[in-house]
Amino acid sequence: MGPGVILIATAVGSGEILFWPGIVANYGFQFVWLILTALTCQYVLNTEFVRYTLATGEPVVAGYVRLWRGFRWVFLAATILPWVWPGWATGGAQALQWLFGGEVRWIAAASLVIIGLLLSSTRLVYRALETAQAWMIGYVLVVLALVTALVVRPDTLAVAAGGLARSPLPFPPDLALPTLLAALVFCGAGGTINLATSNWARDKGFGLAAHASKIVNPLTGATQATGTALFRLTAEPGQAALWRRWWALARREQQVTFLLGGAFGLTAPMLIAYAMVGEKGLGVGLDAVRAQAQQLGAQFGAWLQVGFVIAVAAIFLTSALGVLDHAARLAASLLAQPKERLEPEPGRWRTESGLYFLVLWGLIAVGLVILLGFNVADPPALLTIAGALSGIVMFVYAALTLVLNIRMRRAMDRIEPALGGDNPFRMSWPRTLFLTVGVALYGALSIAVIQDALAKAAA
């Protein structure tokens, strides 16, 4: 297992179970091209983030900060603002409410606290995160495969395949642009979650990250400060071959987990929704998901309805777990860098590990205030906010990744000219093309969403 397991568990979430099944039930499969393009662009982005970590041993956000120090605060805001809304916890809570009753906000609040305790109860955070996500996403994929086998017919597959021949343009006038952008962002992980692939690869020990420290529980007494030193591949014998093996492993891991697992996790709920309800206008939200669960119970028995609802809850809760961990992880790495350069032996809570736990529980506290203090517990509204903000972030970091790669490739050519074609930052033209497509896709949709918001504000 590797970071792809955590990523796919986090990725199979709101877009797959909340946005796209509802969109398909209302508008058909005309957005298949956009879905496949967005998923492929995210795969390329993920592997490029891991490439940087394999070759340097540090998270890719540290590379952005090396381009311009101000990016530290840009990405800190981008990490906190879209994800502070507890939409994933409320989605899981609403699914659990269908089975057990109770108030959504209190169930969601309890979920946040349980996630915090899980991440705080182990010495090595990454290991606990990977294990929990692997078990939950395994259950989810098994349930989706079972339901797909039971309800999806050949005619549904034919209709879905026909979507490949249809253009998504023009967009349906009654489909809000923020909703569409959120759905495209969550075709996979979305937003700064993709960036955390680099941090997870570091804590897994991929490539030169084997030399870097890992985030540990500061309560254990281990106060290691995850390094900010930039490691570098050299032209020494065997280094190039080692690099090629790591790069091949990183790509295969993402292909199996994120690309294939994500494609199945994305298409299965859409096929299930269409097979069960067709284009009946059930809306975009959890009401459509609940209708599917009730229909499964009527056709196959309560056991499948309960199993499906638990899978829906697990989908949202794995996303909530990944969202909280990634936000705390990125924020800690951004906040720790300047302090650890000036203070070689910072105090326990000023290391990256200490800051991780402070940010984690800070996010949980804010989520509790939103849920209990302001009584905001509407998953689609909260997730649309997060998705629209994250789409703008993806436009920014897709462009920055191109710039960073060019800068690092030129630097390596200058410092280690003997590497030649084994320069770890030398991208193939298809990768460059997909990164460029990602910049254009997320940029165009972000501009459209901003224009739409300004027009509504002026009206």
Residue 184 has pLDDT above 60, yes or no: yes
Weakest-pLDDT range from 71-80, 124-133, 281-290: 281-290
Q: Which of 135, 15, 3, 1 is nearest to 394 (CA)?
A: 15
State the average pLDDT over residues 133-138.
Answer: 91
Please enumerate in sequence order all residues whose Cβ is within 8 A of that of 289, keeping only pairs 6 or more positions apart, or say none.
17, 18, 21, 95, 312
Domains of the chain, each with CATH number or no CATH? 3-168+178-458 (1.20.1740)
Q: What is the pLDDT of residues 308-346, one digit of tens each?
A: 999 999 988 898 999 999 999 999 999 885 444 444 555
Contact 37, 441 (CB under 8 A): yes
CA angle 402, 404, 408 (to 5 degrees): 120
| CA 328 vs CA 46, 133, 316, 325, 355: distances in Å | 19, 17, 18, 5, 8
For residue 126, what pLDDT band results from cuts at 50, 70 and 90?
confident
Degrees (nearest 5) of the Cα angle 226, 192, 205?
35
Check residue 303 and give its pLDDT: 94
Per-residue confidence at 245, pLDDT binned at 50, 70, 90?
A: confident
For 425-441, write each residue's pLDDT tens digit. 888 888 998 888 888 87
CA distances (Å), origin 272, targets 19, 157, 265, 387: 14, 10, 11, 24
- By residue count, the chain amounts to 459
pLDDT tens per residue across span 374-427: 765 555 555 566 666 777 888 899 999 999 999 988 888 887 776 777 788 888
pLDDT-based confidence at residue 447 (cuts at 50, 70, 90): confident
DSSP states along 37-53: HHHHHHHHHHHHHHHHH
Give pLDDT tens digits for 3-49. Answer: 888 988 888 766 667 677 777 767 778 777 777 888 888 899 999 99
Peptide bond into 417 cis (omega under 30): no
pTM for the model: 0.87
At residue 339, the pLDDT reads 45
**pLDDT one-digit tens code per residue, 98-118:** 988 888 889 999 999 999 999
3-state secondary structure of 216: strand
Q: Which two tokens stand for residue 165?
A: 């021949």
Q: What is the mean pLDDT of the chain?
A: 81
So what's the pLDDT on residue 179? Answer: 67
- Region for residue 416 given its phi and psi (left: phi exceeds 0; alpha: psi -120 to 50; beta: otherwise): beta
Distance CA 2, CA 106 (A): 33
Q: Taking 50 as the threshold, does the pLDDT of residue 287 lie above it?
A: yes
Which two three-digit tokens encode residue 283? 């809306």
More confident residue, 15 or 75: 75
Taking the alpha carbons at both ends of the chain, their separation in whole angstroms is: 51
Q: How far apart are CA 11 and CA 249, in angstroms?
A: 21
Let me know: does 189 contact 10? Beta carbons within 8 Å: yes
Q: Extract the tokens encoding 322.
A: 């990944």
